Amino acid sequence: MSDALQKTITLLLLITLGLVLRSKFKNKEQTNGIKEIVLSVALPSTIFISLMKIEMDSTLFIIPLVTLVFNFLMYFSGPLAFSLFGIEKNSSTGRTLMMLIPSLAPGLSCFPFIAEFLGEKSLAIAALADVGNKFFVLITLYLLAMNMFLKNSTDEETNTGGKIKSLLLSMVQEPINLLIIIAIILLSVNINYGTLPAVITDIFDKTSALMTPLVLIFIGLAVQLKDGKKGLVSSILLFRAGITMIISSGMIYVFHITEPSMMLLAIVVPLSSASFWPLAHISAFHAKEEAKALPKEKRTFDMELAVLMLAFSLPFSTLLILGILSTGTFFANPVILLFSGLALIAAAAVPGMVSKAYLRLSKA
């Protein structure tokens, strides 16, 4: 059995363990407790170790900017899906999808697999890429959500400056970002992981070892299959993955990336699941409209759709990323990546086309 296949089976069995344990976790707070350990302890430790073990290069700081460009490309690509699925951009559905499609949450859906398949250096680069994504989901998406809300309801005053200051402060206080800043400062004064006291490195090594099993068990616990708009959500996620692959293919070509591990990194990080932060922004404005007893059809965002998309996005992205990394370097080819993206978009469009054809035939 190859190493890649053995790793894949092991990781899938850990997800299965999470599914088996679902009956033991009676409420959402228990599941969220595992997620908090991952995001506040295990993942920050893993990223800190990865950063402290590589040689910092000034060229690495372009990575967050490239990720930020990707976020904006995805944001402007979102409306392309609306024509396929008959969604109006200025509807609550359209506005909700515009918030979620360009967001990324690599911490739970991507980083564990990068660590397992591509190594610590790749994980460190992925962590830097997520810095650009954090600026987009925390600040840019909040401003966009506020603009949508104000256009839909002109009688609301919002303290924009105070909210942005609060978001920036919360971003700096996040354990992941705090340790990234500390690691960069230490590396700038020629302190690396090997020169740290043994007791410090031992703590980081042991807490880092928790990440992969806890993330995979959490995925198994968190998977939800709700009724309602799951067909639309599935199609949107296929479309999102397809557009992502096409953009990644273009970036690999433009930046002349030839190293297989870097090519795979440029593929899997953008395929991360949708972020929780857009839901947080949507929730804030949803609460304002709910307090005014605004009818659902007149609200800025569709809260139920946002929750459903997040629930589907995590397992979808996890399996897609795991599948790509399990094939070795097969997808490390811009042409294969381009056609794979087109195939996913076609798969997303087929159900809608079949439905329209059926309606026409039934009317005839």
| Cβ atoms of 230 and 71 closer than 8 Å | no
- Is 364 a member of any domain? no
Residue 362 lies in a domain: no
pLDDT at 176: 76
Letter for the amino acid at 134? K
Distance between CA atoms of residues 52 and 96, nearest Å? 38
pLDDT of residue 342: 95
Domain membership flag for residue 359 = no
Identity (one letter) of the amino acid at 120?
Answer: E
* 41 belongs to a structural domain: yes
| CA distance linking residue 238 with residue 350, whole number of Å | 11
Return the pLDDT at 60: 67
Report angle CA 306, 14, 336 to the nearest 5 degrees.
65
Name the residue with higher pLDDT: 13 or 270: 270
Query: Where are the strands (E) in 267-357, listed by range?
Result: none
Q: Say which residue the tokens 């991952």 belong to.
A: 38
Among 106-110, 192-196, 204-208, which stretch is predicted with the lowest mean pLDDT? 106-110
* Each residue's pLDDT tens digit, 102-129: 999 888 788 888 988 998 889 888 988 9
Closest residue by Cα to residue 134 from 97, 113, 107? 107
- CA–CA separation, 105 vs 277, rounded Å? 9
Counting the structural domains of the chain, the total is 1
Sign of CA dihedral 299, 301, 306, 307: negative
Q: Render pLDDT for 55-107 as a digit per residue (tens, 0 to 9).
A: 666 666 788 999 999 999 999 998 888 888 888 888 999 999 999 999 998 88
Phi-psi category of residue 174: left, alpha or beta, with phi > 0 → left and psi -120 to 50 → alpha: beta
360 in a structural domain = no
Give residue 242's Cα distance to chain centre. Answer: 15
Which has more confidence, 158 or 74?
A: 74
Tell which residue, 359, 357, 349, 360, has the closest CA to residue 86: 349
CB 81 within 8 A of CB 242: no
What token pair was written down for 297? Answer: 């059809």
The whole-chain average pLDDT of the chain stands at 83
Q: How many CB atoms lie within 10 A of CB 76?
A: 10
Q: Is residue 59 part of a domain?
A: yes
The pLDDT value given to residue 359:
64
Query: What's the number of CA atoms in the CB half-sphere (13 Å) around residue 311?
Result: 18
Q: Which residues contact 198 (CB under 8 A, 6 or more apart)?
A: none
Q: Is residue 138 part of a domain?
A: yes
Average pLDDT over residues 214-242: 79
Q: Report how far residue 188's alpha carbon sits from residue 238's, in angstroms, rounded to the nearest whole number.
A: 42
The CATH number assigned to the domain holding 11 equals 1.20.1530
Task: List pLDDT tens digits, range 19-30.
Answer: 888 888 877 788
Domain span at 104: 3-352
Closest CA to 21 of 168, 217, 183: 217
Short-list 171, 202, 208, CA closest to 37? 208
Q: Is residue 357 part of a domain?
A: no
The arithmetic mean of pLDDT across residues 323-349, rounded, is 92
